[in-house]
Amino acid sequence: MSADKWVGKEGAFHIASDEEIKAGKISDVYFQRGVQVLKEKNADKWVKGEVRASSLPEDWEWAVLGGIEEAAHLLTGLKVDVEAMPEGTLFHVEEPVLTVEGNYSDFAIYETALLGLVCQASGVATKAARCKLAGGDRKVYSFGARRMHPAITPMVERNAFIGGCDGVAVPESARLIHEEPVGTMAHALILVFGSEEEAYRAFNEVIDPKVKRVALVDTFNDEKFAALRAAEVLGKDLFAVRLDTPRSRRGDFPKILEEVRWELNLRGYEHVKIFVSGGIDENRITECNPYADAYGVGTAISNAPVVDFSFDLVEVEGKAVAKRGKMSGSKSAFRCTECFTTRVVPRGREFEKCACGGRVKPLLKTLIRKGELVIGLPDPHSIRGYVLNQLAHISLNL
């Protein structure tokens, strides 16, 4: 298209509105054309399809299901029945996490948006879960808002939280999950004051005492000396020091943390915790765990790899069908309440006991019937609790 015919969203952000998404406008054109053909040929049929992943990114052995609340928002009002695993369920490859049934033309154009919602949300929630699992009892915060389009920040940070993060940095995201935002101190504040000490003092005087004092200690001085200075200036008010070490120094990072911890302890500042940010992911967390008390994770979570879910038809007019390489027919997924093993079986064929002797329960629950939401959706805290409970039963193989 030539420049003079440009009819974009100049003067506005390049995002789709709620109304446009609900109207099915964010759809690959081949779905729209397919519906046109089926309608004109009077060939529409009742179908059932399922969302599942045949592989997971980065050798993940499991992933956390996200995006179900938004998927429910997308699909309510359509003439469809929807089943889904509860948001926050840990799933594996080939497990159906969501199913949609109805006349194909009634929902075909929503496949693009549906997959987009669950693919990205699940990737973010999974990366957050991996970081939380790597950190053990240490706090993990989502600090990656600056790495994404601002329009989706609340969505991304909500999924970071349900995946296991202890807090998020952006107030609008925090509002969505009914939490207070979490933050430390920016390099810019210290640069504007021109002195670390002055910035620490000013922050301590001005900011609500409920906010924990976390001094950034790598702006002008070596981390070790700046950490001691922060402890001297703020004394008991100092909750933690934050080390945000640039890429060039990361090689020795655990060593720097060890030195900081040693020097603080030697001078009676055992109460001062160490907060680490800058290029943190689950591997980095494992390395820093001996000395760090909390982490701010950015890009690794906010720009987590997406889970490559696909939506495949498995029944047409009640008959089992599937494309090459996919298992046909409607399925159930059961999880053992003891060993957490999941089994997928043909729908109707029940699976009552796990090999370990434990009880099993079905994972797919009816979410929408004839376009109406039929279950109450859990709040973000409950979903996060559900995720953490499952994480307690597994290990992280990095």
Q: Which residues would be at the binding site for Zn ion (CB under 5 A)?
A: 336, 338-339, 341, 354, 356, 358
The structure tokens listed for 92 are 């594996």
**For residues 157 and 170, is the Cβ–Cβ distance under 8 A?**
yes
CB of 232 to Zn ion, least distance (A): 56
For residues 343 and 347, which CB has a smaller minimum distance to Zn ion in the complex? 343
At closest approach, how far in Å is the CB of 365 from Zn ion?
Answer: 20
Q: Is 64 helix (H, G, I), strand (E, B) or coil?
A: strand
Q: Which amino acid is at 137?
A: D
Q: How many CB atoms lie within 10 A of CB 135?
A: 24
**How far is CA 99 from each of CA 50, 278, 397, rounded to the nearest angstrom?**
4, 39, 30
- Under 8 Å between Cβ of 314 and 321: yes
Residue 75 tokens, joined = 């699909």
Least distance from Zn ion to the Cβ atom of residue 351, Å = 11
Between residues 324 and 361, which has the closer beta carbon with respect to Zn ion? 361
**Do the beta carbons of residue 309 and residue 97 sit within 8 Å?**
yes
Q: What is the number of alpha carbons within 13 Å of residue 103 lying toward its C-beta?
A: 11
Shortest distance, position 391 Cβ to Zn ion, whole Å: 18
Provide the β-strand partners of residue 64.
Answer: 90
Taking the complex as a whole, how short is the minimal distance between the CB of residue 122 and Zn ion, in angstroms?
A: 24
Identify the burial level of 326 via C-beta atoms within 10 angstroms of its C-beta, where 0-12 means exposed, 13-18 middle and 19 or more buried.
Answer: middle
CB of 337 to Zn ion, least distance (A): 8
CB 85, min distance to Zn ion, A: 18
Taking the C-alpha atoms of residue 129 and residue 328, their distance in angstroms, rounded to an integer, is 31
Nearer of residues 199 and 360 to Zn ion, judged by Cβ? 360
Cβ distance to Zn ion smaller for residue 193 or 340: 340
- Is residue 238 within a helix (H) or strand (E), and if so which, with residue range? strand 238-243
For Zn ion, give the closer residue by CB, 76 or 390. Answer: 390
Smaller CB distance to Zn ion: residue 188 or 356? 356
Nearest residue to 120 (alpha-carbon basis) of 157, 84, 145: 157
| Alpha-carbon span 355 to 358, nearest angstrom | 7
The b-or-e profile of 377-398 (16+ CB within 10 A means b, else e) is ebebeebbebbbebbeeeebee
Nearer to Zn ion, 306 or 336 (CB): 336
Our CB check for Zn ion shows the closer of 138 and 335 to be: 335
Q: How far is the CB of 335 from Zn ion (least distance, A)?
A: 9
Taking the C-alpha atoms of residue 396 and residue 376, their distance in angstroms, rounded to an integer, is 32
345 three-state secondary structure: strand
Minimal distance, residue 336 CB to Zn ion, in Å? 3
Angle formed by the axes of helices 111-135 and 153-163, nearest 10°: 50
Least spacing, CB of residue 334 vs Zn ion, in Å: 10
